[in-house]
Structure 1
Amino acid sequence: MSMQSRLTPIADEQLSPAQQQVLQDILSGPRGNLDGPFLAWIHSPGLAQPAQQLGAFCRYHTRLSTRLSELAILLTASRWQSQAEWLIHEPIALKAGLSAEVVDALRQGQPPVFSDPEEALIYAIGQQLYDTRRVSDALYQQGVATFGEPALVELVGIFGYYALVAMTLNVFAMRPQGEHSLPFPEAVSS
């Protein structure tokens, strides 16, 4: 999926050696494309390189299943009303086994009805984290008992990384090119 944005495009011949290295690393990695925030981050290779490495870990290498990671990503996209983040990750989440009903409820900002207790726990942790900027002792203990401390640390990383992605996509008005109905109402800009 090709992206459009309000950023000034950088032609290949304008890329610095550091930008060329980041571009090569992104394109040769598991993503294989510059979709998402990478078109913005390439403007700052010092940010782009560690951010893309963190993103590769958060998306492909945590202890959480893809289904649970994508739930955390869609919850983040919904909270930030990030059009491109949602459009990129909705099909991945559905393919990973997240139900269409859960996905639709997230898009609408409604509490989903979960049949899976792990999904319900990911949602509860994310909601509490976004609402209160903390996680209660009881919910923390439930997270540790269910996922283990390393996976809970990684879950917080997923929420944080994808919040950065959502902010980047929103600030630079990044959208997939072509005809896409937007999942969220567009905020009026002044």
Structure 2
Amino acid sequence: MAIQSRLGALAEDQMDDAQRAVLKEILSGPRGNLDGPFLAWIHSPELANHAQRLGAFCRYSTRLELRLTELAILFTAAWWQSQAEWQIHEPIARKAGVSDTVIEALRQQAAPDFEREDESLVYRVGKALYVNRRVDDALYAEAIEAFGEPAVVELIGVLGYYALVAMTLNVFAVRRDADAPLPFVEP
């Protein structure tokens, strides 16, 4: 699928050794492509190297079920109105079991009517963090009880990492499918 952005094109023969090394690691990993923020980050190989490793952990290796990780990612994409982040993760979230009604509510930036308590909890933690920049004691205790400390630490990491992804995609106007309608109205 064609990716477009406001960044200048960067062909492999124009890359320095550090960029080629990061490119090779990204392409040989579970992603297998230079999709999303990597199109921008490859311009800074040190950032790309660290960010892609953190991203691989946040996406593929947390203690959270994929459904919950993808819910956190979609919530973040909707919060930041990140077109490409939504376009990339909406089908993954749906396949992982996030319901159509939850997905559509998130896209419309409305509070979803959750059927599953664990999804409601991920949403409430994300909303508290983004709105209040804190999670109060009661919600924190509820999250720890439901997921355990390591998974809550990882959930906060997922929310933070995908906020970085959203900012990168928004600043560099990365678009995944130029022919598809955008999920969010551009500000």
* TM-score using structure 1 length: 0.97
For residue 3 of structure 1, give the secondary structure of its aligned residue in structure 2.
coil
Q: Counterparts of 1:108 and 1:33 in 2: how far apart (Å)?
A: 29
Unaligned runs of 5+ in 2: none
Contact 1:2 1:35 in 2 (8 A): no
- Aligned partner of 2:117 in structure 1 is 117
Q: Counterparts of 2:10 and 2:17 in 1: how far apart (Å)?
A: 13
Letter in 2 for 1:125: V
What do residues 93-133 of structure 1 show as CA deviations (whole Å, max 9, x unaligned)?
A: 00000000000000000000001000000000000000000
Residue 179 of structure 1, CA deviation: 1.0
What do residues 37-66 of structure 1 show as CA deviations (whole Å, max 9, x unaligned)?
A: 001000000100000000000000000011
Identity %: 64
Q: Counterparts of 1:67 and 1:13 in 2: how far apart (Å)?
A: 39
Matches within 5 A, 1:153-172: 153-172=153-172
Contact 1:71 1:98 in 2 (8 A): yes
Q: Counterparts of 1:98 and 1:186 in 2: how far apart (Å)?
A: 25
- Aligned partner of 2:173 in structure 1 is 173
Q: How many residues align?
A: 187
- Aligned partner of 1:52 in structure 2 is 52
Matches within 5 A, 1:4-153: 4-153=4-153
Q: Counterparts of 1:29 and 1:123 in 2: how far apart (Å)?
A: 29
Q: CA RMSD in A?
A: 0.6
Letter in 1 for 2:89: H
Letter in 2 for 1:117: E
Letter in 2 for 1:97: G
Residue 21 of structure 1, CA deviation: 0.5
Q: Counterparts of 2:2 and 2:158 in 1: how far apart (Å)?
A: 24
Contact 2:78 2:109 in 1 (8 A): yes
* TM-score using structure 2 length: 0.99
